[in-house]
Amino acid sequence: MQTLLTAIVTWLSFNSALPATYDHPRIERVPQAQMIAMRLHAESPGSPGSVANGLGQTGDSGSGHDLVALYDNRSRTIYLREDWTGATPAELSVLVHEMVHHLQNVAALKYDCAEAREKPAYDAQKKWLALFGRNLEKEFTLDAFTLLLRTNCMR
């Protein structure tokens, strides 16, 4: 896994404005129910909100029913669903997306809102999928309007 993470960091540093750092995150595969609980806890009032926006298979990861990955800023851990194998370009793109959040966190990059932090992650994921002739809409049911909502400050 460390070799894969190194390759992703190197690819991200060449294909985005993110700095390369090889201080890799922990990777844990967990049941989806555990990710949902972590996400709900992070969104509860008074929570420190250490969990970045979760990545879902449709545009509505807020409900949690389709949550496939999370990144925890504090513990520097990527949580992947327990059935994640990395065997397809789409599954690897989930890891690419979460590695963007790790690099953002390690570099202490600041964004106007949580949604703005998602834009570079989705952009990298789109570029990764394009390498294999695939796209976010087909692989994750994410249309342009949903991406606009998930990547722009609207509050």
Question: Averaged over 35-50, what is the pLDDT?
Answer: 70
- Using alpha carbons, list the distances in angstroms from residue 73 to 62, 64, 108: 18, 19, 10
pLDDT of residue 67: 85
51 backbone dihedrals φ, ψ, rounded to 5°: -90, 125
- Residue 44's pLDDT band, with cuts at 50, 70 and 90, is low
- Residue 56's pLDDT band, with cuts at 50, 70 and 90, is low
In the chain, domain spans: 2-151
